[in-house]
Chain A
Amino acid sequence: MTITFSVRWVKYSLTFLVLAGVAILMLTPVVWILVTSLKPEAEIYRFPPQWIPLQFTLDNYKAVLQSSMPMYFVNSIVVAVGTIVLTLFIAMHAGYAVSRFQFRGKNVFLFLLMASHMMPGVASLVPTYLLAGKLGLLDTYAVLILVYSMWQTPLVVWLIQGFLESVPATLDQAAMIDGYSRLGAFYRVVLPLSKPGLAASAIVVFVYAWNEFIMALTLTSADNMRLAQVGLKYYISQYGIQWGELAAAVILSIVPVLILFVLLQRWFVYGLTSGALKG
Chain B
Amino acid sequence: MAQIELRNVGLRYGEQTVLSGLTLNVEEGEFLTLLGPSGCGKSTTLNLIAGLLEPTSGEVLIDGRPMAGVAPRDRRVAMVFQDYALYPHMTVYENLSFPLRAIKLSESAIRDKIAGVAQALAITALLERLPKALSGGQRQRVALGRALVRDPGVFLMDEPLSNLDARLRVAMRAELKRLHQQLCTTMVYVTHDQAEAMTLSDRIAVLRDGVLQQVGTPREIYQRPVNQFVAGFIGSLGMNFLTCHLEQDPTGTFLRQDTFALRVPASVAQRLVQQGGDFVVGLRPEHVVIGEGVDVDLRANVEVVEYLGSETLIHLRVGDTVLVGKAPAETLIVPGQHVGACIAHASACIFDAANGGLLATDTDGT
A positions within 8 Å CB-CB of B: 168, 170-171, 173-181, 184, 188-189, 192-193, 272-279
Point out the residues of chain A lying under 8 angstroms from B82, CB to CB: 278
**Residue contact A177 to B73, C-beta cutoff 8 Å:** yes
Task: Judge whether B85 and A276 touch: CB under 8 Å.
Answer: yes
Residue of B nearest to A171 (CB): B85
Complex contacts, A177 vs chain B, CB 8 Å: 50-52, 72-73, 77-79
Q: Nearest Cβ in chain A — how far from B358, in angstroms?
A: 38
Question: Min CB distance, B103 to chain A, in Å?
Answer: 6
A178 touches B88 (CB 8 A): no
Please tell me if the beta carbons of A168 and B130 are within 8 angstroms of each other in the complex: no
A198 to B: closest C-beta gap in Å: 13
Report Cα–Cα, A205/B23, bound state, in Å. Answer: 53
Q: Assess whether B52 is in contact with A178, with CB atoms less than 8 Å apart.
A: no
Q: Which residues of A contact B84 (CB under 8 A)?
A: 276-278
Q: Are A176 and B73 also in contact (CB < 8 A) when A274-B132, A275-B131 are?
A: yes
Q: Chain B residues in contact with chain A, CB under 8 A?
A: 50-52, 71-73, 77-79, 81-89, 98-99, 102-103, 130-134, 136, 139, 146, 150, 163
Closest 5 CB pairs of A and B: A179-B102, A275-B132, A275-B131, A178-B99, A277-B83
Q: Name which residue of chain B comes closest to A273, CB basis.
A: B88
Q: How far is the CA of A273 from the CA of B86 in the complex (A)?
A: 9
Identify which of B51, B83, B102, B130 contacts A178 (C-beta below 8 A).
B102
10 interchain pairs, CB-CB under 8 A = A173-B72, A174-B146, A176-B51, A178-B78, A193-B88, A193-B89, A275-B132, A276-B86, A276-B131, A278-B136
With A176-B72, A177-B79, A193-B88 in contact, is A275–B130 under 8 Å at CB?
Answer: yes
Given A171, A178, A189, A272, which contacts B73 in the complex, CB threshold below 8 Å?
Answer: A178
Are B88 and A175 within 8 A (Cβ)? Answer: no
In the complex, which residues of chain B have a beta carbon less than 8 angstroms from the beta carbon of A168? 83, 85
Closest A residue to B163 using CB positions: A278
The CA of A195 and the CA of B103, in the complex, are separated in Å by 27
**A177→B98 CA distance, assembly (Å):** 11
Residue in B51, B73, B77, B81 whose beta carbon sits within 8 Å of that of A170 in the complex: B81
Residues in B neighbouring A192, C-beta threshold 8 A: 89
A170 touching B88, Cβ below 8 Å = no
List residues of chain A with CB within 8 A of the CB of B146: 174, 178
17 more CB-based (< 8 A) A-B contacts, given A176-B73, A181-B71: A170-B83, A174-B81, A174-B85, A177-B52, A177-B77, A179-B103, A179-B150, A180-B102, A184-B102, A189-B87, A272-B88, A274-B88, A274-B132, A277-B83, A277-B86, A278-B139, A279-B136
Interface centre among B87, B99, B134, B136 (most CB of A within 10 A): B87
Which residues on the B side are within 8 Å of A173 (C-beta)?
Answer: 50, 52, 72, 79, 81, 85
Chain A residue nearest to B100 in the complex (CB): A179
Residues on B with C-beta less than 8 A from A180 are: 73, 102
Q: What is the CA–CA distance of A181 and B51 in the complex, to the nearest angstrom?
A: 12
Q: Which of B72, B73, B88, B98 contacts A276 (CB 8 A)?
A: B88
Minimum CB–CB distance for B246 against chain A, Å:
51
- The answer for the CA separation of A99 and B73 in the assembled complex, in Å, is 22
Quick one: which of B79, B89, B98 has the most chain A CB within 10 A? B89
